[in-house]
Amino acid sequence: MNFYAKRKGPPIVPIIPMIDILSILLVFFIVYTEKKQTRPAFNPELPATANLPTVNLRGTSSILAVAADGSLALDGMSIPSFEMLPDYLKSFASENQGRRVELELDQSLPLGRVIFVWDALTQAGYEVKDVPLRVKSAQTETKPSST
């Protein structure tokens, strides 16, 4: 019979290896963590042009043509640069009250240019939803569609 129980010592936890592992993890997270910065973004969900409803237009309207190389023309009159487009459209709208404008774009035109043209139309007093849009491509004929 054993009346005296042997005293157990405190449990041994290896502290030094845990410090090594924690320091490696700390360095890993510091190196691979990027600071998250918020920035404004625009996420367009544009439908394919084949799915857009088309309308047949009658009557006269002026055509604002934007080519793939960035050249602009309003009723055949060349506009020197994109920066001058809002002024040209404002003077055109004041001289031709009530005249409709159609937008004729090249298919390979960047989206930023299209948005700039829409902004210029809005500054001139045109509602973008009332401006018909035609997209020209090399394979197909010009197809009118409503915006």
pLDDT at res. 23: 93
What is the DSSP track for the chain? ---SPPPPPPPP--HHHHHHHHHHHHHHHHHHPPPP---------PPPGGGS------S--EEEEE-TTS-EEETTEEES-GGGHHHHHHHHHHHSTT--EEEEEETT--HHHHHHHHHHHHHTT--GGGS-EEEE-SSS--EEE--
138 — pLDDT class (breaks 50, 70, 90): low
State the pLDDT at residue 147. 46
At 6-58, the pLDDT tens digits run: 777 777 777 788 888 999 999 998 888 877 777 787 766 655 556 666 667 66
Q: Can you give the pLDDT at residue 98?
A: 78
* pTM, entire model: 0.57
Q: Does residue 110 surpass a pLDDT of 80? A: yes
| pLDDT (tens digit per residue) in 64-94 | 888 888 888 888 888 888 888 888 888 888 8
